[in-house]
Amino acid sequence: MTDARLPGDEAAFIAAARSDDAGRFALITERYRRELQVHCYRMTANYEDAQDLTQETFLRVWHKRESFKGDAALRTWLYRIATNACLDFLEKRDGRAPVPDELLYLQPYPDRMLPEESAVARETIELAFIVAVQHLPPRQRAVFIVRDVLGWPAARAADVLELTVASVTSALQRARVTVREQLPQGRLDWRTPATHELSEGERGVVRAYMDAHERNDLDGLTALLREDLRFVMLPGSGAVDVTARDAVDGWVAGGLFQRGYDDWRCVATTVNRMPAAALYVRTPGDPVHRLLNLAVLRVVDGKIAELTGFEVAGKAWLGLPATL
């Protein structure tokens, strides 16, 4: 029996909780999975952790199901539980880190796992934004996300985070300053009307980048990079600003494009609503090309301004096949 005074999801949730109907409960909560997973990803910067934390959220929701009375929207209640799960996790995870490092746990987020396009603005999921948010202390990070990314009013944010409205307002002001300091030029306002799709120019740069790799065209690759390139290779190194030629020379010095690492195939993809290329290499004696790196590109004025590389080492990852 449902309470006719409550909206559909809230009434159905309470009915499922009262009847201990796990199947019905799962159907109601499952529709929130992808948006909660994106929320956990923004909090942690790690796709695998976000998956685990979303599952942890649903477990907590099941155990706390009888405490939901419909006084707040079900979605608000779910976000409160997800946020607390993230804060508990971050307290343990970040306490293990030898030094603060906003890139230490960074993983890309596959676009195929995002909610429908209207729900996730490109400006709030791009890697540069995710990294900038990681510079915030966890609770301040949560305030920033629910206020400026989700667009919730201060009173609702205060309720979710169990803070006063004044505390939320103060934390948000500090967070905005930090995020603006960390974001690259041209990405300073994440609250303007959002964009979603890649431009044809971005798609063209990805095609040219893959073509240069497959032909071992070092001059062509260099020409695609801005002179003030920001380069990151993860895991294991932070961001560095290098010239285009120095970047390519460094890749060559590291063994890429030399014998044994000169037979490339590439696959275009998108992560974090950004253009990306999955790079596969075939070494001597191997019958297949194996996934080596994922290169995520930020394109500005027709050239690559930032290149974030993720070492994958031959395994299937984020829905990409391990071999071609």
What confidence tens digit (pLDDT) does each residue in 143-188 have? 999 999 999 999 999 999 999 999 999 999 999 999 999 887 655 5
* Coarse DSSP helix, strand, coil percentages of the chain, rounded to the nearest 5 percent: 50, 15, 35
23 pLDDT above the threshold of 90:
no
- Residue 161 and residue 273 in one domain: no
HSE toward the beta carbon, residue 134, CA cutoff 13 A: 23
**For residues 258 and 125, which has the higher predicted lDDT (pLDDT)?**
125
- Residue 80 and residue 147 in one domain: yes
- Residue 175 and residue 211 in one domain: no
- Residue 294 and residue 247 in one domain: yes
Residue 2: pLDDT band (50, 70, 90) is: very low
- Residue 120 and residue 228 in one domain: no
* pLDDT score, position 303: 96
- Residue 44 and residue 74 in one domain: yes
Task: Give helix 127-134 / helix 165-182 axis angle, nearest 10°.
Answer: 130
Instruction: Locate the DSSP E strands across the chain.
Output: 225-234, 240-242, 264-271, 274-281, 290-300, 303-311
Q: Which domain holds residue 273?
A: 200-311
* pLDDT score, position 302: 95
What is the SS3 string spanning 166-199?
Answer: HHHHHHHHHHHHHHHHHCCCCCCCCCCCCCCCCC
293 beta partners: 279, 311
CATH of the domain at 157: 1.20.140.160
Task: Transcribe 121-177 into DSSP letters.
Answer: -GGGTSHHHHHHHHTS-HHHHHHHIIIIIS---HHHHHHHHT--HHHHHHHHHHHHH
Model pLDDT for residues 194-246, shown as the tens digit of each residue: 556 789 999 999 999 999 999 999 999 999 999 999 999 887 667 788 898 89
Residue 47: pLDDT band (50, 70, 90) is: very high
**190: in domain:** no
* pTM for the full predicted model: 0.90
- Residue 110 and residue 169 in one domain: yes
* pLDDT score, position 192: 52
Greatest distance between any 2 Cα atoms in the chain: 71
Distance, CA of 269 to CA of 168 (rounded, Å): 38
| Residue whose entry in the numeric block shows the structure tokens 């791009």 | 126
- Residue 170 and residue 276 in one domain: no
- Residue 175 and residue 210 in one domain: no
**For residues 256 and 277, which has the higher predicted lDDT (pLDDT)?**
277
**75: in domain:** yes
**193: in domain:** no
- Residue 269 and residue 216 in one domain: yes
Preceding peptide of 108 cis, ω within 30°: no
* pLDDT score, position 186: 54
What's the sign of the alpha-carbon dihedral 175, 177, 178, 181? Answer: positive
* pLDDT score, position 131: 92
Model pLDDT for residues 79-138, shown as the tens digit of each residue: 999 999 999 999 998 776 555 577 888 999 999 999 875 668 888 999 999 999 999 999
Q: Provide the 10 A C-beta neighbour count for residue 141.
A: 24
| Domain termination site, one of 182, 212, 227 | 182
Q: How far is CA 241 from CA 36, 227, 247, 248, in A?
A: 34, 9, 9, 13
**Number of domains comprising the chain:** 2
